[in-house]
Amino acid sequence: MEMVGGTRLAQLFTSNQEQLLTEWFAQQHAIASRRGLVGEAELRNQFTQFVSLLMAALASSERVDFRTPAWQDVRAFLSEMSAQRARQGFTPVETAMFVFSLKQPLFTRLRDSLGNDAATLADLTWTISTLFDELGLFTTEVFQTSREQVIVRQQQELLELSTPVVQLWDGILALPLIGTLDSARTQVVMENLLQKIVETGAAIAIIDITGVPTVDTLVAQHLLKTVAAARLMGADCIISGIRPQIAQTIVHLGVNLSNVTTKATLAAAFIVALQRTGKSVTGAYGQDAGRAVRSGDGLDSLQPE
Amino acid sequence: MERIPILRMGKLLLVTIQVDMHDRLALTLQDDLTSRIVKDGARGVLIDISSLDVVDSFIGRMIGNTAAMARVLDAETVVVGMQPSVAITLVELGLTLSGVRTALDVEKGMALLARNGTV
Amino acid sequence: MTIFNSTAAPTSTSPPDTLPIRSDEQIVRLRQFVREKAVAQGLSLIDQTKFVTAASELARNTLIYGGGGDVHCYLVERNGRRGLTLEFVDNGPGIPDIQRALSDGFTSGSGLGLGLGGAKRLCDEFDIRSAPGEGTHVSITKWKPF
């Protein structure tokens, strides 16, 4: 059944705004003050804004359709309000109540002004009921999305803390990946690595997956895409720290690593990287011997171990 | 008709692409480069795309073809300065430019060509 | 308002912009236009580049395979998320085997080589309607995630 009565409802708002505010406010205030986050003045202000946008949208056409461009300002306002409430820690129900608290006061006004006109009363009641249900649901959906945004942002911050890109030597970067990699996380991490390659002018990036327990097809594909992208930019990647189980998975998945240099350990990868950037490594492996890196004519020795 | 300028430095040709090329302009560049390689006896070509914020499959293939043609004419090509988002996009498109050498910037590109004894 | 191939139809927040695709230069103009819109909608640099590239691929198809056409650009929203939608429309010969066109990469070297699969991978939503004699209609959307 279509929703009609836009102009009539707009009038209703105009003639009864004060009373509507008072009754709506009584309900909202209880919620807001419980949270202690939205002041009285701000609440009144939000209501006034909401109502004026509602009136404009209602007055724009006889047919009331929340999805049309005329309602864009209302949607935008509710999006902003809902996102704000989500950030402030309100529950979804409390946030939806912003809209629903207006229903009862409106019904009362409708009955008062249309007491004897049953048909119109029925139509307008239907319109308000359906409209406000849609508005309320809309706020809930936006609320959900906002919560997800917060979670993702937190995840990203955690991500940046847990996977820093390290500069091992001039022109050599290392990215030690720790923990399980999901598709989204891997993508973010890889984009970060490519950006660092540009910033530092590194010719080689070592992606170490010692700390990654399992690798599935998607993650393997992301790894390969990153290696390919780095290559296009002019940098080489070495993947290190591939454990036996992961090696088996990679082969079983049919992942093609023939174009990628792989090393069992980060240390081995580092030596290869040094060699590729024109340094040579001398020294014996062993507990007491130091490792030395020769570049130019001198023999600069690194600390043992 | 607009053209992308080609600079000559000894045996090296340097092309800096700074405009978003339409397809015909890209093909013209390809023609110009191959002509210049022969005319100047160039042994190395450096294509600087650090200003390009988008490279689609057509331009990508043009670059790949140019490098292949250059090789036939006994010149090495190095593509330098591809931006990360462009690289990621090309990989997603499946364009690997496998026959083309790459470097992070012009300086490294020239070093690469020098290391190979090209220029 | 156009119906999209998705569960909750995104709402267009303004009338669409329409650009013609009838020449090489217009493809470049489209790339610049889509970049501007993508920046305005707040897409990340990588998402911008992916979407602009997809637009370029599809625009070239419209021009070369479709004999020229138009592209409509919509600013859209769904559940509070903002996005960008492009519709490529031509009255060309139409694509006889869409599945094959989607699976062939341009590297296939085949005559078709439409690169639709690649363009699809670069977008969040991809919808194509085409049949011989009925022209081609391709719709792509990219959302600003957060």
- CA-to-CA distance for B38 and B44, rounded, in angstroms? 11
Decide which of A11 and A263 is more confident.
Answer: A263
Who among C31, C106, C107 is closest to B20 (CB)?
A: C31
Q: What H or E segment, with its residue span, contains residue C96?
A: none
pLDDT for A303: 36
The answer to whether the CB atoms of C14 and A69 lie below 8 A apart is yes
Nearest-by-Cβ selection for A149 from C9, C13, C146? C146
Residue A154 structure tokens: 């937190």
The verdict on a CB contact (< 8 Å) between A233 and B97 is: no
Q: Considering the entire predicted model, what is its pTM?
A: 0.72
**Which of C7, C12, C79 is the best residue to mutate to test the A interface, defined by the most A CB atoms within 10 Å of its own CB?**
C79
In chain A, the domains with their CATH numbers are 6-156 (1.10.490), 166-282+290-301 (3.30.750.24)
Lowest mean pLDDT among A24-33, B40-49, C69-78: A24-33
Residue C125 or A60, more confident: C125
- What distance in Å separates the CA atoms of residue B103 and residue B109, rounded to the nearest whole number? 5
pLDDT of residue A36: 65
User: Predicted confidence band at C45 (pLDDT cuts at 50, 70, 90)?
Assistant: very high
Chains that touch C (3 or more CB pairs under 8 A): A, B
C106 pLDDT band, cuts 50/70/90, is very low
CA dihedral A128, A130, A136, A139 (to 10 degrees): -110
So where are chain C's domains? 17-143
Alpha carbon distance B60, C30 (integer Å) = 18
Q: What is the mean pLDDT of residues A71-85?
A: 89
Is the pLDDT reported for residue A301 higher than 70?
no
Is the ipTM higher than 0.90? The answer is yes
Q: Please tell me which of the candidates A201, A229, A234 has its beta carbon nearest to residue B88.
A: A229
pLDDT over 90, % of chain C: 62
Q: Could you tell me the pLDDT band of residue A161, with boundaries at 50, 70 and 90? A: low
What tokens appear for A53 in the block? 């946008």
Q: Can you tell me the distance from the alpha carbon of C84 to that of C122, in angstroms, rounded to the nearest whole number?
A: 13
Contacts C27 to B, Cβ<8 Å: 22-23
Average pLDDT over residues C9-36: 91
Lowest mean pLDDT among A105-114, A260-269, B26-35, B105-114: A105-114
Pairing verdict, β B76-80 and B44-48: parallel
Among C58, C60, C35, C59, CA closest to C47: C35
Helix (H) or strand (E) holding C17: strand C17-21
A34 at interface of B, judged by CB pairs closer than 8 A: no
Which uninterrupted H or E stretch holds B107?
helix B106-115
Q: Which residues pair with C125 in a beta bridge?
A: C141
pLDDT over 80 (residue A292): no
- Interchain pair B102, A228: CB under 8 A: no
Domain spanning C17-143, CATH class: alpha beta
Q: Which range, A85-94, A99-108, B28-37, C102-111, has the best average confidence (pLDDT)?
A: B28-37
Query: Taking 90 as the threshold, does the pLDDT of residue B77 lie above it?
Result: yes
- Asked if A106 contacts A130 with a C-beta cutoff of 8 angstroms, the reply is no
pLDDT at A103 > cutoff 70:
yes
User: What structural domains does chain B harbor?
Assistant: 6-104 (3.30.750.24)
Region of poorest pLDDT, from A67-71, A178-182, C6-10: C6-10
Instruction: Check pLDDT > 90 for residue B44.
Output: yes
Q: Is the pLDDT of residue A134 over 50?
A: yes
Whether A87 and A146 have beta carbons less than 8 Å apart is answered as yes
Tokens 């109502």 map to which residue?
Answer: A51
Give the pLDDT score at A302: 42
Q: Mean pLDDT score of chain B, rounded to an integer?
A: 94
Range with lowest mean pLDDT among A67-76, A148-157, A288-297: A288-297
Closest CA to C70 of C33, C19, C27, C11: C19
Q: Does A203 touch chain B (CB under 8 A)?
A: yes
User: Could you report the per-residue pLDDT of A271-285, keeping only the tens digit for each?
Assistant: 999 998 888 767 766
Q: Band the pLDDT of C4: cuts 50, 70, 90.
A: very low
Q: Of the segments A105-119, A182-196, B67-81, B91-105, which one has the largest average pLDDT value?
A: B67-81
The DSSP code sequence of B69-102 is HHHHTT-EEEEE---HHHHHHHHHHT---TT-EE
Residue C28 pLDDT exceeds 90: yes
CB contact under 8 Å between B89 and C45, yes or no, is no
**Chains adjacent to B (≥3 CB pairs closer than 8 angstroms):** A, C
The better pLDDT of the pair C109, A198 is held by A198
